[in-house]
Structure 1
Amino acid sequence: MRIALAQINPLVGDLSGNGAQLLAACRRAAADGADLMVAPELALWGYPPRDLLLRPSLRQRQEDVLEALARDLPAEQALLLGVSETVRDGQQPDLFNSVALVEKGRWRIVARKRLLPSYDVFDERRYFRPAEEPCLLELERDGRSWRLGLTICEDLWVEEHLHSQRLLGGDPVGDLAAMAPDLLINLSASPFGQGKPHLRRELAKSAAQRLSAPVIYVNQVGGNDELIFDGGSFVSTASGAVGAQLAFGAADLACWEPGQAAEAAAIPSDEELLLRALVLGVRDYARKCSFGKALLGLSGGIDSALVAVLAAAALGAEKVQALLMPSPWSSEGSINDSLHLAKRLGIHTQTVPIEGLMGGFDAALSPPLGGTPAGVTAENLQSRIRGTLLMAVANQQGQLLLTTGNKSELAVGYCTLYGDMNGGLAVIGDLYKSTVFHLCNWIDSEAAQAVRQELGLPAQGELIGAAIREKPPSAELRPDQKDSDSLPDYAVLDPLLKALLEEHQSPEELSQQGTDPALAERVMGLLRRAEFKRRQAPPVLKLSQRAFGSGWRMPIAAASQ
């Protein structure tokens, strides 16, 4: 039996369009001799569909699309795809997360998801019921009956020794062992996370060895809101070797047959995977929200430089515009660095000085304040002037405004509401400042030349530039300002933030490990007090185990912790 892995990039809620994608893939697979094509979890809906699952009209449309697929599928070909299955017993939730088999002019449900994630960004128990029984499908091909074990995404994540989020419940892989499947198939929608491609391989290898059978892992690809699905579908042979490997960060289709020789398929470096994920997240957010152009503010700092590189790679340099908005406190070096970066990338810039606008606000605010704005108020006004200019230009020209703040700043509130937080997408809001430096250093290295060329960026020479990479971070909102005037050095701050955010440690635990108690308490206080700002931030592309977004559910008004 020849099996096609269809790594598609669906648009959430576009059941007809996603069905057309699947039909086109089926025809390509049939031309390559495939007997069976496997598509990702909830392939018709796109993952995560969230409350779209509650709409009766969309549930009916799914059935209509399944009927059309059954009618139009190439002869002698079968399709396994993820669907929602409605249960009409008057109880809630009234859906299963299921697998449908389409073949011979009809379709039917053949498997249901057992382990439903409701942690971090996942909320499946809001919509779905968990199934209780293992799922085995017998499929006749070329005079042989193939026994296919079927699992959906989280059902594969049962190895407690490999990860720390094993859900309470049965063992969908272990329960299939007694049924002796010839193959295990996992239909997945697993978002990008640092280290995840290696972990998925280890999980599949473990399952393959437990069942003495190959594992076919088919993942969704594409950006959907803040989630980035990196694809990377693959086949693990019964011995745990890689039998086939699909692309990371792009739609792909590949065929595999049992007994096919294993292939050498190295996973790209962490830096390359991160760059590809960010570019995909920007490209798909813009495309799926009907934006063809992007705008950002260029400050001469490393954050906006990285976002400019990502935007140029995602949309094309000709579709990216940058505003330079110098104040009296902006250094000549920052202006020149911004212009040189834009020239290297080929993006268009305009310079709009804000000194006159600052004077206008000073004059307007002096009567109610009893004097000109000063201190943080004056600094925030500069940021808000820039934010207003950016929003006005983006509004007038139909551009997606990209926010350029990093995770360290967003964590401690070193950002201004209605100022530098303005925008439609926070591109690097899940990258600590130290990670921004690391990624930019890699982008400017020889190791990145091939992927830069593939992404349409200049392959030779520096992109970010040493002048930007080596510059001390500064908001330049007052004379000689440095980030370190207000915050600990990022080499100190970022490990503390990771411990507090991602490892759920307390200031007391950090103190016991050697952190200065006053510093630990101060950082925790900054984190807690900035919650109201994060609640009003644009969507943040999720890259880490714990990002500020739909998976971050902290109260604003709460006791000090």
Structure 2
Amino acid sequence: MRLALAQLNPLVGDLEGNGQRILAAAERARAGGADLVLTPELSLWGYPPRDLLLRPALIQRQERVLASLAAACQDDLALLVGVAEPATGRRQPGLYNAVALVQRGRWRHVCRKRLLPTYDVFDERRYFLPGDAPAVLELEAGGRPWRLGLTICEDLWVEENLRNRWPDAVDPIADLVPGRIDLLLNLSASPFGRGKGEVRQSLAARATARLGVPVVYLNQVGGNDELVFDGASFVVTGAGRPLLRLACASEDLGFWDATPPAATRLAASTATTSAATPPDPWEQLLRVLVLGVRDYAAKCGFQRALLGLSGGIDSALVAVIAAAALGSERVEGLRMPSPFSSAGSLDDAEALARRLGLRTATLPIAPLMQAFAAGLTPELGAPPRGVTEENLQSRIRGTLLMAVANAKGGLLLSTGNKSELAVGYCTLYGDMNGGLAVIGDLYKTTIFGLCDWLDGAASGPCRAALGLPPDGELIGAAIRTKPPSAELRPDQRDSDSLPDYGVLDPLLKALIEALRTPEDLVAEGADPALVARVAGLLRRAEFKRRQAAPVLKVSDRAFGSGWRMPIASA
């Protein structure tokens, strides 16, 4: 049996458009001699469709799109499509997360997802009912019958170290053992997370060992709101090593030949696929961020992007990502110096823009600061000072950025990082302004690490592939080595208000991603006063994060849909 793995980038809710993407992949698969085409979880909808699933008109439209797909597939080529299956006679949630088989002019449902995640960014029980039986699909291919076990994404995540997710006894892999299947197919929409690729491969290898058959893991690719799906689909056999690995962070179509009793032969892909080692973790992270910005802009209808260029490392990294995502000709950097801005920062911003080929403009904010001070003095009894004055600078800059973005129809990219968002070292209606927080899930120390890699020789091939200058420094040593500062007053440094990021970030990661308590950290040797201070800042900044731009998720726990803390709480 020849399988075609169609790693697709859908637009959420675009049923007709996604149907055409699936049909185009089927045509390419047919030309490549495929017997069966796999598409990702909910491929007809795009994942996650969220409350679009509650619209009856879209459920009805799905039926029409499936009928048109069936009409276009009159031959023996079999096509697996991710759909929302109505549950007859059931009240809301009245759907199954399902898979339909399209073949010989007809279609039918053949699989229902059994494990419905409700942790982190997932809320599937709001929309779906769980399937209650294993799915085995029987197909004829290559002159013999095949028994294919079908699972959907989370159904593979059942190992002992994950049982806290599923305390009941449901184990879709174990339930397939009596079915004596020839292959296990897993159709997924699994968002990117650092280190997550290795976890997926380990789970597939374990399923291979339990079932004694190869596992084909097909993942969605593309950015949908704050989630970025990295694709990186693969096939594993008994040895646990991938025989086929599809591209990371781009659409791909790969072919794989299964021969009984096990799959042994790798066929060429139409894109850059191989069984080679996956990309360097820094490269994966960069490519995913670039994909997230590119798709957010394209799927939301933005042709251009704008950001504030301060000469600091955060805005420099966002500028690099934006240039790779959209092309430097479609990205503009705005320099907005105050009386406290150093000449070095202005020069560093200009040098970065030249290296990237960005257009820049300079709008000094000193006159606006003076006008605000004059306007506020009668009410305050004196010109604004301290935090009030510092926040005014940020809000003036945020207003200018929004005005230029409005006038030019561009997407304003926020440049704040996760460390700042965590402790509230950011200004509402100021530097938090924007339509997308590009690096809002990267701690400051991670940003330094990524920028060091970007400026190293190892990044050259990746930079060239993304349309960036392949040689020499990109961020620049002057930017990478300067002490972090918002330059809101003379000689101001981040360290005046915050612990060193090398100390702060591990505490934040423990509190945010591992959900450790302050008492846990103190028991492990952390300074009690420091832990109490950081935990307090994290809690008090919740109201700011609730008003932040969407944050591209790249960690196990990002601020956004996977972080649902109350604002008013003890």
Kindly state the Cα deviation for residue 295 of structure 1 after the two structures are TM-superposed: 0.0
Return the letter of the residue paired with 1:277: V
The gaps in structure 2 that reach 5 residues or longer are 267-273
Cα 1:165–1:515 shift into 2, 3 Å: same
Return the letter of the residue paired with 2:264: Q
Kindly state the Cα deviation for residue 33 of structure 1 after the two structures are TM-superposed: 0.1
Residue number in structure 2 paired with 1:36 = 36
Return the letter of the residue paired with 2:380: L
State the alpha-carbon separation in 2 of the partners of residues 109 and 239 from structure 1: 32
Pick from 551, 557, 561 the counterpart of residue 540 of structure 1: 551
Which 10-residue stretch deviates more, 399-408 or 241-250? 241-250
Return the letter of the residue paired with 2:325: A
Cα 1:432–1:203 shift into 2, 3 Å: same
Q: SS where residue 173 of structure 1 aligns?
A: helix
Q: SS where residue 260 of structure 1 aligns?
A: strand
Residue number in structure 1 paired with 2:281 = 270
Pick from 505, 517, 527 the counterpart of residue 528 of structure 2: 517
Residue number in structure 1 paired with 2:119 = 119
- Report if aligned partners of 1:3, 1:34 keep a CA contact under 8 Å in 2: yes
Q: SS where residue 10 of structure 1 aligns?
A: coil
Residue number in structure 1 paired with 2:79 = 79
State the alpha-carbon separation in 1 of the partners of residues 419 and 560 from structure 2: 15
Cα 1:168–1:361 shift into 2, 3 Å: farther
- Report if aligned partners of 1:391, 1:423 keep a CA contact under 8 Å in 2: yes
Cα 1:539–1:140 shift into 2, 3 Å: same
State the alpha-carbon separation in 2 of the partners of residues 175 and 266 from structure 1: 32
Cα 1:65–1:167 shift into 2, 3 Å: farther
Q: Give 1:57-72 correspondences, 5 Å limit.
A: 57-72=57-72
Kindly state the Cα deviation for residue 243 of structure 1 after the two structures are TM-superposed: 1.9
Pick from 261, 264, 276 the counterpart of residue 260 of structure 1: 264
Return the letter of the residue paired with 2:16: S
1:199 maps onto 2:199 in alignment: yes
- Report if aligned partners of 2:333, 2:360 keep a CA contact under 8 Å in 1: yes
1:329 maps onto 2:333 in alignment: no
Return the letter of the residue paired with 1:393: V
Which 10-residue stretch deviates more, 269-278 or 154-163? 154-163
Return the letter of the residue paired with 1:253: L
State the alpha-carbon separation in 2 of the partners of residues 29 and 162 from structure 1: 35
1:410 maps onto 2:414 in alignment: no
State the alpha-carbon separation in 2 of the partners of residues 352 and 288 from structure 1: 31
Residue number in structure 2 paired with 1:304 = 315
Which 10-residue stretch deviates more, 385-394 or 250-259? 250-259
Kindly state the Cα deviation for residue 164 of structure 1 after the two structures are TM-superposed: 6.5
Return the letter of the residue paired with 2:37: M
State the alpha-carbon separation in 1 of the partners of residues 475 and 423 from structure 2: 26
State the alpha-carbon separation in 1 of the partners of residues 73 and 137 from structure 2: 20
Which 10-residue stretch deviates more, 246-255 or 256-265? 256-265
The gaps in structure 1 that reach 5 residues or longer are none
Percent identity between matched residues is 67
Residue number in structure 1 paired with 2:140 = 140
State the alpha-carbon separation in 2 of the partners of residues 132 and 471 from structure 1: 58
Pick from 427, 430, 437 the counterpart of residue 448 of structure 2: 437
Q: SS where residue 339 of structure 1 aligns?
A: helix
Residue number in structure 2 paired with 1:6 = 6
State the alpha-carbon separation in 2 of the partners of residues 74 and 245 from structure 1: 30
Kindly state the Cα deviation for residue 269 of structure 1 after the two structures are TM-superposed: 1.3
Q: Give 1:68-467 correspondences, 5 Å limit.
A: 68-73=68-73, 75-161=75-161, 165-166=165-166, 168-258=168-258, 259-261=263-265, 264-467=275-478
Aligned residues: 559
- Report if aligned partners of 1:160, 1:166 keep a CA contact under 8 Å in 2: no
After TM superposition, the score normalised by the length of structure 1 is: 0.98
- Report if aligned partners of 1:118, 1:124 keep a CA contact under 8 Å in 2: yes
- Report if aligned partners of 2:440, 2:552 keep a CA contact under 8 Å in 1: yes
- Report if aligned partners of 2:74, 2:105 keep a CA contact under 8 Å in 1: no
Return the letter of the residue paired with 1:261: R
Kindly state the Cα deviation for residue 417 of structure 1 after the two structures are TM-superposed: 0.1
State the alpha-carbon separation in 2 of the partners of residues 166 and 504 from structure 1: 19
State the alpha-carbon separation in 2 of the partners of residues 229 and 84 from structure 1: 20
- Report if aligned partners of 1:183, 1:215 keep a CA contact under 8 Å in 2: yes
Which 10-residue stretch deviates more, 507-516 or 47-56? 507-516
- Report if aligned partners of 2:229, 2:249 keep a CA contact under 8 Å in 1: yes
State the alpha-carbon separation in 2 of the partners of residues 169 and 113 from structure 1: 15
Kindly state the Cα deviation for residue 163 of structure 1 after the two structures are TM-superposed: 8.5
Cα 1:375–1:484 shift into 2, 3 Å: same
- After superposition, the C-alpha distances for 1:414-441 in whole angstroms (9 at most, x for unaligned) are 0000000000000000000000000000
Kindly state the Cα deviation for residue 241 of structure 1 after the two structures are TM-superposed: 2.5
State the alpha-carbon separation in 2 of the partners of residues 142 and 494 from structure 1: 55
- Report if aligned partners of 1:224, 1:284 keep a CA contact under 8 Å in 2: yes
Kindly state the Cα deviation for residue 167 of structure 1 after the two structures are TM-superposed: 6.0
Kindly state the Cα deviation for residue 88 of structure 1 after the two structures are TM-superposed: 2.7
- Report if aligned partners of 1:159, 1:166 keep a CA contact under 8 Å in 2: no
- Report if aligned partners of 2:98, 2:112 keep a CA contact under 8 Å in 1: yes
- Report if aligned partners of 2:256, 2:265 keep a CA contact under 8 Å in 1: no
